[in-house]
Chains A and B, each alone.
Chain A
Amino acid sequence: MKYEAIIGMEVHAELLTRSKMFCSCSAAFFGAEPNTLTCPVCTGMPGVLPVINRKAVEYTIMTALALNCEIAEASVFSRKNYFYPDLPKSYQISMYDLPLSENGWLEIEVDGNSRRIGIERVHLEEDTAKLFHVGGYSLVDFNRSGVPLMEIVSRPDMRSADEAYAYLIKLRQILRYLGVSSGDMEKGAMRCEANVSLRPVGSAEYGTKVEVKNLNSFRSVKLALDYEIRRQSRILDERGNIEQVTMGWDEDRGVTVVQRSKEYAHDYRYFPEPDLPPLSISREWVEEIKAKLPELPDARRDRFVAEYGLPAYDAGVLTADKAVADYFEACVRAYPQAKTISNWIGGELFRLLKEAETGIEEVKVTPAALAELLTLVEKGTINQNTAKAVLGEMFRSGRAAAEIVAEEGLAQISDADELGPVIDEVIAAHPDEVAAYRAGKERLLGWFVGQVMKATRGKANPQLVTSLLKEKLQRRQ
């Protein structure tokens, strides 16, 4: 039978605030010595009083607005009760019946088709401690405990692993544009869980849903969901029952395995956090935040097409990452030829970044330096291929293009008097090819150009070489 997959996603993103959610300990815990960023609040000592980090609320509202959500007038923190050593208070301060925002949507594109994925809610809570398992013990590091954590819950609107993947990529893109989270899944700054169920195509009822956890990379999300959809199809094909369980993705084996049976929501015994007075979100504050929202990826992509006349593909590539889009615009200000810059960024620069396994934030080639290089190409000082080599050197050393060209004698030879003898030598050295060319094998022209380029260490002006060669090869006919 043909089935349709119904997928919903829960994403947790650590917010890039300086301090924690309810205390003034630093939230920059990555790489810190265990338990050095802790205090009685974030280790759950009795008698302490949490105080809400205003920035975390603001970041959550920013995200909610970017996801087209309605911002609540009143929002209340609640206690979510469960026992685990990563949770020192035995409850997590979260939101339950009165989240900060609800009812939004996010537009994704898969295979050229746009679809809106509903956002059920965006709320704020605190992260838990980190556990390390050694021998017969577990070690607890509370540095992460109390770091602001935003939860974004989608509606079950995704229909394939590809759509779930596109949703996550888009969500991370927005978080990064807003600057509210690094969205780094490998570092755990963005974590996700998926709910997956199947139903026969055409059916309106939902099947039993299975929660899939332990998705630690974008790739594993795709693989795990594809696997889980196949697993459920097989069970349904054999007229079996899908159990409502939590599955964990086992990356090494490429399978999902049962983790534990589902705890029902009421088992968490939520109740309003008595230590935190409710939030009343004024419309003035919401407007203030809205006015500060940066241009979001879709708007920026459309503007790149309209303002710079770029193809939609180029605009999409350049705006995928805010830092790249910023870099591109800085380049265009220095050298106003958008398509040329797009080609260089999307081609050579991306290749160099990939090779060096680094990001554009780390790049030594400033927009002004790239502009200078492209000006050298435009003026004919160097040719396209030399420019690629020069960019490679600029990328490695951070030196200026003109300096590299001068020092390594890379300037293009555009002087017919200088190229003439070189071409004559090439022609004289290859009588067979000359004869073949004159006999009509005109494809050989490219080969001759190659020989001349080789003889000049790639510095010859290829257009000039081509026309000189044509002339000289024909002249003696």
Chain B
Amino acid sequence: MKLSRAEVEHIAELAKLGLTEEEKKKFCEQLSAILEYAEVLQQLDTEAIPPTATVLPLQNVMRPDKVAPSFPREDILANAPDVAEGCFRVRAILE
């Protein structure tokens, strides 16, 4: 299966990536190759195998509703690109 240029542009847009013409061409080929590999897998007969959401032999891993102390704010904000008024500061978001 070959991805179209428009599809690559759409994916890039969703990932908020600005691609050059050259990159579009390159990713078109690479992503198409990945899809082709998936097509190989799709040839397997999985009729009798129930779909699964996990590869781990686990289910119902839950915790009781108990509060534990949060992290000090300085530690959390230490990772912020920019800080103001106890908040992470980012470029203006326009609705």
Residues of chain A touching chain B, judged by Cβ–Cβ distance below 8 Å, are: 17-19, 24-26, 33-40, 43, 45, 51-57, 76, 81, 83-85, 98, 131-142, 248, 259-260, 267, 269, 272, 274, 276-280
Contact = CB atoms under 8 A, between A and B. Distances in A.
A142 B76 contact: yes
Contacts of A34: 73, 85-87
B44 interface: no
16 contacts: A18-B67, A24-B67, A35-B73, A38-B73, A39-B76, A45-B79, A85-B93, A133-B93, A135-B92, A138-B93, A139-B90, A140-B87, A267-B14, A269-B14, A277-B59, A279-B59
A18 B68 CA distance: 10
B61 interface: yes
A25 B70 CA distance: 5
Contact of A277 (B60, B77, B92): B60
A54 B67 CA distance: 13
B58 interface: yes
Contacts of B53: 76, 98, 272, 278
Contact of B16 (A76, A83, A277): A83
B95 interface: yes
A272 B89 contact: no
Interface residues of B, number: 33
A138 B66 contact: no
Given A34-B86, A140-B90, A278-B53, A24 B66 contact: yes
Contact of B95 (A36, A248, A279): A248
B65 A54 contact: yes
A55 B93 contact: no
A35 B92 contact: no
A266 to B, nearest CB: 10
B54 A35 contact: no
Nearest to B85: A139
B39 to A, nearest CB: 18
Given A36-B73, A39-B71, A278-B53, A139 B64 contact: no
Contacts of B79: 43, 45
Most buried by B among A17, A24, A26: A24
A316 B88 CA distance: 48
A134 B16 CA distance: 24
B33 to A, nearest CB: 19
B63 A24 contact: yes
A363 to B, nearest CB: 30
